[in-house]
Structure 1
Amino acid sequence: MSMADLFDGMAQGDEQLAPGAWLLRGFARDMASTLLHDVASVTAVAPFRHLVTPGGYTMSVAMTNCGRVGWTSEARGYRYAGIDPQTGQAWPALPDSFADLARRAAQAAGFPDFDPDACLINRYTPGSRLSLHQDRDENDRVAPIVSVSLGLPAVFQFGGLARTDKPARYRLEHGDVVVWGGPSRFAYHGVLPVADGYHPETGNLRINITFRKVF
C-alpha cells in the first residue's frame, strides 16, 4: 500500500501517532453494541480475572481472552497458551465481529492481510490502569497490534522504543481504535488511571479489546 493510498483511506480526525502507528477516531463506534454483546458471550465461557504478575503484583485491570491462544501470567513469566488455566478448556473462538473489525482496522492503518490469533479483553473500573510496557511475547514480530476502546474514556500513553522516551497522551473515546506496527511495533504504551464516570453501553466500565498475531 502506497502512502497516497493510505491517506486516502483515512477518515477525517484520524491521527498518526508515529511511523506505523495510527489513532482511528470512532472506527468501531457503529458496531460497538455488537462487539459488547460478543464480549459478554466470551466472558460467559472464560470469565474475567485479575492476573498476578511474576513479581507478585495483582493487576488492577481484569482480563480474559478469546482466539486460538490466550495471554496468561504465572510465576515463571508471561506466555500464550491454547488452554484457559482457570477453566481447563480451550479459549472461546474469536467472534466474527472481532475478526472483521481487526482486519479492517489493520488495513486502514496500512497493514493488509492481518490475521489475529489472540484477542485480549481488558475490563477497567475507575482507578484501573496499565503501566507503560512493550508487547514482546508474540513470536510474530511483524504484524501490528490493534486496540479497540469501548465505554468510559481513557488517557492512552504512547511512547518510543525506550522506556525513558517521554510518552505522548491521547484521550480515547468509545469506538476509537489504535493500530501500531512496523517501526512502532515495540513502542512503550499504557493507560493512565481511568476516571469515574458513566457510559450508556457499559456503565462505569471501560472495555478494551486488543488483537495480536502470536504465531
Structure 2
Amino acid sequence: MNENEQFNAPAVLPSTPVDPRLDLAAAVDLAGRTLAAVRPDQYDAPTPCEEFDVRRLSSHLVAVVRRISVIGRGEDPFSVPSFADELADGEWAPAWEPAAREVAAVWADPGILEKPLTLPLGVVPGAIAASVYAHELTVHTWDLATATGQQPEWDPAVPERLLAVVRRALPAETRGGRVPFGEVVAVPDDAPAIDRLVAWAGRRPRT
C-alpha cells in the first residue's frame, strides 16, 4: 500500500493483548533484512506492486521507514518524500539501519499508542498508525521478496493480526478509484497468514 492513498483506518483496533508496536518493530526488522539481501542484478526486476520495480520499491521502503519516525514525533508526514531519491543504487540497506533505530527510539514511549498522529490519510491514534505502517511494510516486504526470489521467515502471528485490522480498514468491496489495491484474490482459509494478508491487498501468493 502507498500510504498517501485511501485507507479507512478503524477508530479502534480489534481486541488484542499484543502491543501493535511489536508488530511494527517486526515489520521494520524483516523489511530491512529483505532489503539487505537484494542483489545489484535485481534492481530492474518487476515487483508484484506494478508501479515499482525493485529499485523504486527499495527507495520507497527507505522513505516509509523515515516517515514512520516523523509521524511518531507528531510532525508533518509530507515533510518526508515518498522516495529516497538522494540515495544511489545499493545505498538503501545502509540507510535503513539508522532509520530503523530512529523508529525504535521515537516509538519507545507506550503513551504514543493513544496520541493522535497525523498520517497522509488523516489523524489516527498511534496504535492505528503502528498497524497501518506494519501492514504497508509487510506487504511491500512480500513484494520485494517475491521479486528477488527470497523466502523470509514470516512470524505467522504478525500478518494474522494485521489481517484482522486491514479487513476492517479495507473492505473487499471498496476497490478501485483512489484505493490502491486490486480485487481480493481468493486463497484457501487454511493458507499461510502472509498469503491471506497479501491476497487481501490484491496480490497473488506464490503458493
Judging by fraction of residues, say which structure has more helix. Answer: 2
TM over 0.5: no
Judging by fraction of residues, say which structure has more strand. Answer: 1
Larger RCO (CA under 8 A, 6+ residues apart): 2
TM-score of the superposed pair, with normalisation by structure 1: 0.28
TM-score of the superposed pair, with normalisation by structure 2: 0.29
